[in-house]
């Protein structure tokens, strides 16, 4: 059965790029959200196997969304991978403090993405 991955990013280009890495790989099914608020709503409704989430987004950042997901019983254990261009210590610390499972820097390569999926999806 395909693993469901929720992509949360305000950039349609970024979402498309991540999807294209997996091409026709039938092991993964992708669903999308355009910001953290929609991401939290979709995560609760869909209960994905993993969430790949941008950090800087309108309405609710990835860090705020990750914190919110950790407060909800049905989503508290879903691996959340924060993806960002921001590699500064303050951002990495804030990301880790939000309860994310991993923090990876963009641009995300196929190798990096497949490694993080393998690490967090059983």
pLDDT tens digits for range 5-22: 999 999 999 999 888 888
The pLDDT value recorded for residue 64 is 96
C-alpha dist (Å) from residue 58 to 35, 38, 67, 114, 116: 6, 10, 16, 27, 25
DSSP element (H, E) containing 5:
strand 3-8
pTM of the complete model: 0.94
- The residues pairing with 33 across neighbouring beta strands, listed in sequence order, are 8
Alpha helices in the chain (DSSP H): 12-22, 36-46, 62-70, 89-97, 110-120
Q: In the predicted model, is pLDDT for residue 40 greater than 90?
A: yes
Least confident piece of the model among 23-27, 73-77, 113-117: 23-27
Which CATH superfamily is 3-120 part of? Response regulator (3.40.50.2300)
Instruction: Count each helix (H run) and each strand (E run) in the chain, helices first.
Output: 5, 5
What pLDDT shows up at residue 21?
Answer: 86
pLDDT of residue 1: 86
> Residue 55: which pLDDT band, with cuts at 50, 70 and 90?
very high
């Amino acid at each position: 059965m395909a693993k469901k991955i929720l992509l949360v990013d305000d950039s349609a280009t970024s979402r498309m790029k991540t999807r294209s890495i997996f091409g026709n790989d039938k092991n993964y099914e992708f669903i999308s959200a355009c910001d953290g608020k929609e991401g939290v709503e979709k995560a609760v409704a869909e209960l994905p196997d993993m969430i790949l989430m941008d950090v800087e987004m309108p309405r609710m950042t990835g860090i705020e969304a990750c914190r919110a997901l950790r407060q909800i019983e049905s989503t508290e254990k879903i691996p959340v991978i924060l993806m960002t261009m921001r590699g500064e210590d303050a951002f990495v610390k804030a990301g880790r403090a939000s309860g994310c499972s991993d923090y990876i820097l963009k641009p995300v390569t196929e190798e990096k993405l497949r490694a993080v999926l393998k690490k967090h999806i059983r």
